[in-house]
Homo-oligomer: A and B are copies of this chain.
Amino acid sequence: MRERYISDSVIRRLPKYHRYLKELEERGTGRVSSSALAHALGFTASQVRQDFNCFGGFGQQGYGYNVSSLLSEIAAIIGVNKKHSAVIIGVGNLGHALVNNFDFVNCGFNLTAAFDASADIVGERIGNITVKSVDDIDSFYKENPFDIAILTLPRACVTDMAQRLTRLGVKGIWNFTNVDLHLEEFGVKVENVHFADSLMTLCYEISDAKND
């Protein structure tokens, strides 16, 4: 299915198309043009058409794109229809936030377990998940291999945990710990969510404005 190399720039725009097309579909909009999409998302019409043509054109000349079919093409490309499995490691405030409020299914994942090191938290029930001990990760993996692990645990434990998960054979890690993980050489995809990097960028921008 995936023939040629798709650049990171394109890939990072796919979720934005997905989100907006979903919005259009909910509103009952049937068709959309590259220029309308571009306007809504802050891209250019050329860029939009180039992006879609990475995967083979989904449009119709003189008409534009059919919202539902474009949405399902994009969903298929991202893989959100695949029902990957995910576990979360570290059930502090952030872990709770994700388990309680985050729509994993919308992103192509099922959350199958949660683990924590603290005896106070192990056993806690959140929604339909009961927090297990981190000691049980390996045995749980053997019974229920998961595709990715979500790291929301203290900095100090991250490197060890990442190694352990790599040995187990996870496909990816969603890393919230502000430790830069690079496991590409071991075939593990890592997506780092660096809150601090994001806030520092904003810091730069408002400092900048101050100086103008």
Contact = CB atoms under 8 A, between A and B. Distances in A.
Interface of A: 1-2, 11-12, 14-16, 18-19, 41-42, 77-80, 82, 84, 92-94, 96-98, 100-104, 106-109, 147-148, 171-172, 174, 178, 180, 182, 187, 189, 191, 193-212
Q: Considering residues A84, A93, A207, which has the most beta carbons from chain B within 10 angstroms of its beta carbon?
A: A207
Tallying the copies of this chain within the complex gives: 2
A201 B12 contact: yes
Grouping DSSP codes into helix (H, G, I), strand (E, B) and loop, the A interface class, with mixed when no group exceeds half, is: helix
A198 B174 contact: yes
7 contacts: A77-B204, A93-B93, A109-B199, A171-B210, A191-B199, A191-B205, A193-B193
Given A78-B203, A202-B191, A207-B82, A197 B15 contact: yes
Contacts of A189: 202, 205-206, 209
Contact of A196 (B84, B106, B203, B205): B106
Nearest to A12: B201
Contact of A182 (B42, B203, B211, B212): B42
B204 A171 contact: no
